[in-house]
Structure 1
Amino acid sequence: MSFEAMWRDLSPVGRSGISGGYHRQPFAAAEREAMTWFTEQCRARDLRLRMDGNGNAIAWWGDGPGGVLTGSHLDSVIDGGAYDGPLGVVSALAAIDELRDRGVTPGRPIGVGVFCEEEGSRFGIACLGSRLATGSIGPQQAASLHDRDGVALLDAMAAAGLEPDLGPSPLLQDVGTFVELHVEQGRDLVDRDRAVGVASEIWPHGRYRFDFRGEANHAGTTRMEDRRDPMLSYAMTALAANKQARLGGQRATFGRVDVIPNGTNAVPSQVTGWMDARGESEEALAALVGEVERLGTERAGRDGTTLEMTPESVSAAVRFDRDLAARISGVLDGAPVIPTMAGHDAGVLSAAGIPTAMLFVRNPTGVSHSPAEHAEMADCLAGVTALADVLAELAR
């Protein structure tokens, strides 16, 4: 089946009829449907499919150790785009088809993998599936995770028909190299007028919960000077984060907020905001987060409120194997080697000691984590060919 046909089949799964965005939350109906599609595609190609109890899967073409793994994820952020994750999975299957059409017999096995809950949009930990597989998150911490509706991770997995063990996965024992193809989440390739690029590094990044507490009161009868309003503390901290990130050339985003009691005519008693922060170095990230926390605490003091900041998920900088990146760039006729500010499963596998690389496919607007996310079909097909060339080289 061609890339175009597979893309047509997968594209409707989990798509909103209102916004056009995707809601493929891990272990829920749409994501499970996408996984069923993946397993059917693997079986149609006679690939040897292996799954663990946590929702990760790898399908192998060939047997033996030191295999070359590719693939990505099928879950999405809330109201996300079509390409973030699925492009890497569909391209991997299409690349195997292309290699077979070329008559290639790989000297090492080639695998197509899907990791669960890459986005962290349901349980708050980015790349949860690959973290579980590599053991970089412990079973106790994983078992404590709940989604915003209070559903425990273990319960969600069980409801999806899985038998979770939350320990390191045997799936990775035959992996010698990992290459993840992904839509670019930025405009570097657009500016370079190139369809495909190679990753050099991932910026360090993290998610931080800011709990502002004050005093609930009546919106009409409480004088402005008598209020202990945590919404003001939150609002000024969000503005401070924006300013500090701009001044330092870093990234800071408050994209989620919960308010108690969340009434139109009530001063809230508590406001919780989640900040996503990213820096060009671990020192820059720590300095940015520390300054935002300091400014938020100062503002809370003036408002008569309190602030407690809790890091929920922090990922160190990842520098991909330079020799591997250079080798891949050479295979692709000098494809540019560029950094990314977005986290990926490739970063987790790299940190676990697996030689890892990434390919990026041009995104004409740079928009991602949005229904407007896009890649032209010609560039997608160029990505498939590039991935096939890379896999043929690495699996010789």
Structure 2
Amino acid sequence: MMENIIQDVESNVSWLSQFGSVPSGGITRLLYSKEWFDAQQALKQKFEDMGLETSFDEVGNLSGKLIGSQHKDQVIMSGSHIDSVVNGGNLDGHFGIIAAYLAVQYLKQQYGTPLRTIEVISLAEEEGSRFPYVFWGSKNLLGLAKKEEVLNIKDAAGTPFVDAMRGLGFDFKQDDSAARKDIKAFVELHIEQGSVLETEGNTIGVVTSIVGQRRYNITLKGEANHAGTTPMSYRKDAVYGFSRICTESIAKANAAGDPLVLTFGKVIPKPNTVNVVPGEVMFTMDCRHTDQAYLKSFTEEIEKDMQAIAHEMGMEIVIDRWMDEAPVPMDTDLVNTLKDICEKEQLNYRLMHSGAGHDSQIFAPRIPTAMLFIPSIKGISHNPAEKTKTEDLVEGVKALTQALYQLAYQN
């Protein structure tokens, strides 16, 4: 079994990477683009060649099923998303589909028909890279996507979401709230997109939870004025105000320590010219933690600090918290199953949380869900330089194969 796993992993990664490849060496495979459609159609053919029953749902999620002999309506699902960011890497999401496909191929060859149906899923979209909407694939699968949320959105070129979808033969579900009821477990293999596994020398991460996130758009309003004639003591310099907010907030985040992270990722000063005291700064803030109560208390403290700094400096501040996602725990029984597999197979693993969002966070509150991580070299992702050692990719496939065996072939 799995004698040719290294060759299988390398050849399949190379094969899928051709769909959406760009001159930089990266991948651009956006929802409902030609590159996306070609990749889904090619995967469909690959699934069929292996003897899986294939189908697209209304919005373009692709399924390949190895039907169970005794409990065909109990589905053990594995896979990930097929879309990419602009000029991204060739593993984020995509390898989860390849790994699931290879795991099912090996299991079928070695053990034949499973007791429960195994389904490889290539989810239509997760990244939000073309349209301002995320998790379109998994949300539709679970009856969470709302038609009105995408009816009027467009991509950067002005193409309406609906036109792009219908142009490829897909459409809205007749019932938004209709959800799959046959999925008994979902296991997602993914590159870490961070540097913990590589730094600590582990080859497998068993994910216990996905962090909660609070995201903000914040506008600090001071007063624009002449850079040469306005004394320092008279100024309401919005950049200086932002620098104080940033410095003091990051200091508190460092003091709080792991697993809290805080990022000021986008800063737009106005008028943004050399000889004018900046009168306004728009900036973003992203804060994440595995504990919802702590995330809430920390960010509320930072909000008060920002307001106090603005008041002290005679400025106005507008704080818009536009995302407030709670942490999502993985299923305890599935986590224990993955731990047992890693110990039995003598895999070098660690328990860890995910600092990034994944389709698993959509599944987990509704279906028993677990995640496996494999290392990312230097933690790089969403970048053509995204890479994982072949031997680590192989270890991930081995762990996933054993997990699907336990869930689909055992009573």
Tell me the TM-score range normalised by the shorter chain.
0.7 to 0.9
What is the CA-CA distance between 1:200 and the residue it aligns to?
1.3
Tell me the secondary structure at the aligned position of residue 308 of structure 2: helix
Matched AA of 2:372: L
Which residue in the other structure is 1:54 paired with?
59
Indicate how the Cα distance of structure 1 residues 115 and 293 shifts in structure 2: closer, same or farther if over 3 A, else same.
farther
Return the alpha-carbon distance in structure 2 between the equivalents of residues 264 and 316 of structure 1. 42
**Equivalent pairs, count:** 394
CA contact (8 A) 1:232 1:303 kept: no
Partner residue of 1:327 out of 330, 334, 337 = 337
Return the alpha-carbon distance in structure 1 between the equivalents of residues 198 and 246 of structure 2. 31
Matched AA of 1:375: T
Asked if 1:195 corresponds to 2:203, the answer is: yes
The TM-score, its normalising length taken from structure 1, stands at 0.84
Asked if 1:2 corresponds to 2:15, the answer is: no
CA contact (8 A) 1:43 1:49 kept: yes
What is the CA-CA distance between 1:109 and the residue it aligns to?
0.8
Indicate how the Cα distance of structure 1 residues 259 and 337 shifts in structure 2: closer, same or farther if over 3 A, else same.
same
Partner residue of 1:363 out of 369, 372, 376 = 376
Partner residue of 1:338 out of 340, 352, 356 = 352
Return the alpha-carbon distance in structure 1 between the equivalents of residues 234 and 110 of structure 2. 75
Which residue in the other structure is 2:362 paired with?
348
CA deviations over 1:197-250 (Å, ceiling 9, x no partner): 321111212332223456667777877777665544444444444333222121
CA contact (8 A) 1:104 1:392 kept: no
Give the gaps of 5 or more residues in structure 2.
Answer: 1-6
Indicate how the Cα distance of structure 1 residues 267 and 84 shifts in structure 2: closer, same or farther if over 3 A, else same.
farther
Which residue in the other structure is 2:49 paired with?
44
Among all aligned residue pairs of Structure 1 and Structure 2, give the percentage whose two residues are the same amino acid.
32
Tell me the secondary structure at the aligned position of residue 65 of structure 1: strand
Indicate how the Cα distance of structure 1 residues 261 and 78 shifts in structure 2: closer, same or farther if over 3 A, else same.
farther
Return the alpha-carbon distance in structure 2 between the equivalents of residues 385 and 30 of structure 1. 29
Moved more, 207-216 or 307-316: 207-216
Moved more, 216-225 or 127-136: 216-225
CA deviations over 1:351-387 (Å, ceiling 9, x no partner): 1x20111111133433333333321111112211221
Matched AA of 1:8: S
Matched AA of 1:40: Q
CA contact (8 A) 1:197 1:360 kept: yes
CA contact (8 A) 2:237 2:279 kept: yes
Tell me the secondary structure at the aligned position of residue 125 of structure 2: coil
Return the alpha-carbon distance in structure 2 between the equivalents of residues 58 and 248 of structure 1. 43
Partner residue of 1:31 out of 30, 33, 36 = 36
CA contact (8 A) 2:187 2:371 kept: yes
What is the CA-CA distance between 1:284 and the residue it aligns to?
1.9
Which residue in the other structure is 1:179 paired with?
187
The TM-score, its normalising length taken from structure 2, stands at 0.82
Return the alpha-carbon distance in structure 2 between the equivalents of residues 267 and 37 of structure 1. 56
Indicate how the Cα distance of structure 1 residues 298 and 371 shifts in structure 2: closer, same or farther if over 3 A, else same.
farther
CA deviations over 1:301-349 (Å, ceiling 9, x no partner): 4555533233333321111111121122223335543322222111210
Return the alpha-carbon distance in structure 2 between the equivalents of residues 28 and 57 of structure 1. 15
**Map of 1:275-286 to 2, 5 A cutoff?**
275-286=285-296
**Map of 1:382-393 to 2, 5 A cutoff?**
382-393=395-406
What is the CA-CA distance between 1:136 and the residue it aligns to?
3.9
Moved more, 112-121 or 29-38: 29-38
Matched AA of 1:346: S
Which residue in the other structure is 1:11 paired with?
17
What is the CA-CA distance between 1:294 and the residue it aligns to?
2.7
Matched AA of 2:406: E
Indicate how the Cα distance of structure 1 residues 294 and 103 shifts in structure 2: closer, same or farther if over 3 A, else same.
same
Return the alpha-carbon distance in structure 1 between the equivalents of residues 133 and 389 of structure 2. 31
Which residue in the other structure is 1:254 paired with?
264
Calculate the aligned-residue CA RMSD, in Å.
Answer: 3.3
Partner residue of 1:298 out of 291, 295, 308 = 308
**Considering only CA atoms, is the larger Rg found in Structure 1 or Structure 2?**
2
Indicate how the Cα distance of structure 1 residues 382 and 136 shifts in structure 2: closer, same or farther if over 3 A, else same.
same
Asked if 1:378 corresponds to 2:387, the answer is: no
Asked if 1:311 corresponds to 2:330, the answer is: no
Indicate how the Cα distance of structure 1 residues 281 and 229 shifts in structure 2: closer, same or farther if over 3 A, else same.
same
What is the CA-CA distance between 1:128 and the residue it aligns to?
3.9
Indicate how the Cα distance of structure 1 residues 93 and 15 shifts in structure 2: closer, same or farther if over 3 A, else same.
same
Matched AA of 1:337: L
What is the CA-CA distance between 1:277 and the residue it aligns to?
1.6
Give the gaps of 5 or more residues in structure 1.
Answer: none
Partner residue of 2:99 out of 71, 91, 94 = 91
Asked if 1:112 corresponds to 2:120, the answer is: yes
